[in-house]
Structures are given as structure tokens and as C-alpha cells.
């Protein structure tokens, strides 16, 4: 159950990013495996969101298990500054972003 709650929080943060950047026609895929879980979120936008490479760097911040309970609580904030996505990066192990106009795609993986 705990991994499902973490997946829900990660999806919520990614949705906030998509909404903040006017990305529409959003599709979400979630797959739990023995290794962890994969999330893929895809949407439509005419232009690549500003700062997407910085977002990718923030999402690929190395996961830090020692402070996991803290960033679980911190991710409940509703207004995001760009740096807040660093917290999301601390929850996941890998992130990939692709933009092939008009499709914007984010894939993340979190190990068990």
C-alpha cells in the first residue's frame, strides 16, 4: 500500500506540472513490477515547456532514503516553484522527458 501512495503523490506532482504548463489531453500509465513502479504521463502542447532540461535535472536528483519521510510531507504543497521539483527527484530513481511536438512525455521509475 505504501508504494501505491507514493505513486499517487508522484502522479499528483506531475499533473501539477502539466497543468502549470497548459499541457492538455493528458494520459497516465502506471505499472507496478517486482523491481518498483513506472509512471508515464503524456500530453499535448504546441511548445516545449520553458526550463524542461532543468526539470529533467531536478527529477534526476539522486534518491535519498534518509530523508524520505520529510519529503513525503513536503510534497503536499499546492503552489510550486521550480526548485520544488527537486523534492520529487528525491522520491524517484530515474526520469526521462521527451518532446516531439505536440507530444510531451515524462517517464519516471521508482525502485522498491
pLDDT of residue 63: 82
Q: What is the dihedral of CA 79, 7, 11, 37, to 10 degrees?
A: 140
At 73 the pLDDT is 59
What pTM does this model have? Answer: 0.84
Unique residue bearing C-alpha cell 510531451: 104
Map grid coordinates 507514493 to a residue: 6
CA distances from 45 to 3, 40, 68, 111 (A): 30, 16, 33, 30
Q: Residue 67 has what pLDDT?
A: 65
The pLDDT assigned to 75 comes to 54
pLDDT confidence of residue 70 = 60
Q: Which residues of the chain have pLDDT under 50?
A: 77-79
Domains held by the chain: number: 1
CB neighbours (10 Å) of residue 37? 19
Domain residues for the domain of 98 are 2-111
Q: What is the pLDDT of residue 106?
A: 98
- Terminal Cα-to-Cα distance of the chain (whole angstroms): 12
Amino acid at each position: 500500500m505504501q508504494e501505491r501512495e507514493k505513486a499517487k503523490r508522484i502522479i499528483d506532482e506531475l499533473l501539477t506540472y502539466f497543468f502549470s504548463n497548459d499541457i492538455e489531453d493528458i494520459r497516465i500509465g502506471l505499472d507496478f513490477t517486482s523491481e518498483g513502479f513506472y509512471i508515464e504521463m503524456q500530453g499535448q502542447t504546441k511548445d516545449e515547456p520553458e526550463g524542461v532540461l532543468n526539470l529533467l535535472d531536478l527529477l534526476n536528483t539522486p534518491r535519498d532514503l534518509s530523508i524520505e519521510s520529510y519529503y513525503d510531507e513536503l510534497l503536499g504543497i499546492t503552489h510550486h516553484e521550480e526548485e520544488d521539483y527537486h523534492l520529487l527527484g528525491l522520491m524517484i530513481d530515474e526520469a526521462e522527458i521527451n518532446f516531439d511536438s505536440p507530444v510531451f512525455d515524462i517517464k519516471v521509475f521508482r525502485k522498491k
